[in-house]
Chain A
């Protein structure tokens, strides 16, 4: 455990020195801060727009951090041959990979926390602001409330679901980070980046893929019924079914975002959380299996 922790700490130190991380973070923070301004230009509910943009920014930029920082972490160790001295030490390759994973996950989560703080400040500033107070007072109050909110999730009515949704997003990102490590353990950063983004998009569309498969099957049945024959199931059906079962069902996690914005109550089936943890563990096991068999060039 101590060895995994040492590698995770070192990975975190390496990741936070990556300039791409700050570029992504600045973009995310600007988007979150300006969501209030943009909400003035819309006819929908103001807090819905701010929340919608805030959650989207935190989620997408969280994925961007996992992808852009994560895909090169293992690759760099191999390319720069720093792995040589690590492998010769009394640690298993699996410990190295888990250390890398937790270090990257910590980086992603810390950044999510920073983005969430600014999101909460933005929410308090735009929604709860007292019109009689000065701008400085409102800003000070929002900064304080945002900080309290990070620890006391239900302390304020307007933001009571935010931290819960962010926690679910953190689990979703744990899956994506595991994929970034998996792809990075056997391919180049560019290919890993492409594959991780593809997995994210396919994972978010998982329920659509299932619906697509059902649609294909229904059509096949309809065609068969007209000719009174056995339905000829097309290849696309099997492909969609297999894809839907292999790809992570990220939609199950993302559903909470819509609940937080448009409904009053955020709910998640406990099985979804267990699914997330097991799925992540499965991907990490696969990464370890591949990594254990590798000759480092």
Chain B
């Protein structure tokens, strides 16, 4: 059974617009249709970390909003844990952190989590134990008795993550969980997501921070202008072979390296060392042989594989064309 299953999920927003033209005084009332999501079909299995990636406005948040019952789809179907959207029993097993969350800032940290615990129908003792555990997990034990209005953005994100985990969910939706966080905060979120996978939970998250997605995702889907452009395990999506070589050499003259400049992707000189990027293996071999034969020193040779970011940009450019 798929944990998340969508079929041709689409969402259009209709806006009423007034077109005015004062040359001959024409005022027209029209409905403008914006296609936020078009025919999204994805299946996510149990225990998977699935990343929905795409630039701003790609439709990631719309997809999550539909799955969370915040928006209704214009067409298509979706099922969570085999049940149609909105099923109360399924919602009990789901956690959700929205993008740039804003919470009830007059509540203290523990009051806030206690409120969400009540919405899950948890009894007082279970709530208390869970709150203590989660505050410790997200590193907010010290701030538990402070109102949320005094929390920084990172703290807000962490308390939001804690509320998403309040019911010990089997499926967690995280909309841009690392947005606005510093590197430490991003690492904390990443660690929490990985720990969820270790516990056998399914995580569905959207992001445009590709390096983080690359580190933790089992599979990714790439959305662009509301359409799913590609989906699959990272290993399959990214080229498996080496795409370029980074060469750092020392002790050679400028005249030795200059003839290759046109064939290299990049060539620069930093504190006497030449730093070059070659896209062909033969060229790399040729450079190394020449440097060694002229008495130079090979400082390092690093083969580079395609990153998710490279793939993402390639896909986006392909879509635009």
Interface, chain A (partner B; CB < 8 A)? 2-3, 5-7, 10, 13-14, 17, 80-92, 293, 295-296
Contacts and interface: CB of A to CB of B under 8 A. Distances in A.
Nearest to A3: B119
A142 B48 CA distance: 70
B92 interface: yes
19 contacts: A3-B119, A3-B121, A6-B118, A6-B119, A7-B119, A10-B104, A13-B107, A81-B98, A81-B101, A82-B102, A82-B103, A82-B104, A84-B70, A85-B97, A85-B160, A89-B91, A90-B120, A293-B72, A295-B71
B104 A14 contact: yes
Given A6-B118, A10-B104, A295-B72, A85 B98 contact: yes
B70 A87 contact: yes
Given A81-B102, A85-B163, 11 more contacts: A3-B118, A13-B106, A84-B70, A84-B98, A85-B116, A88-B68, A88-B69, A88-B94, A89-B120, A295-B71, A296-B70
B92 A90 contact: yes
B2 interface: no
A17 B106 contact: yes
B311 interface: no
A92 B163 CA distance: 18
Contacts of B115: 6, 10
B199 interface: no
Contacts of B98: 81, 84-85
Interface in B61-108: 65, 68-72, 88-89, 91-92, 94, 96-98, 101-104, 106-107
Contacts, number: 71
Interface residues of B, number: 29
A153 B295 CA distance: 107
Nearest to A81: B102
B68 A86 contact: no
Contacts of A3: 118-119, 121
Contacts of A295: 70-72
A87 B69 contact: yes
Contacts of A14: 104, 106
Contacts of A91: 119
Contacts of B70: 83-84, 87-88, 295-296
B121 A90 contact: yes
A92 B86 CA distance: 9
A223 B92 CA distance: 68
Contacts of B106: 13-14, 17
A195 to B, nearest CB: 20
Interface in B230-278: none
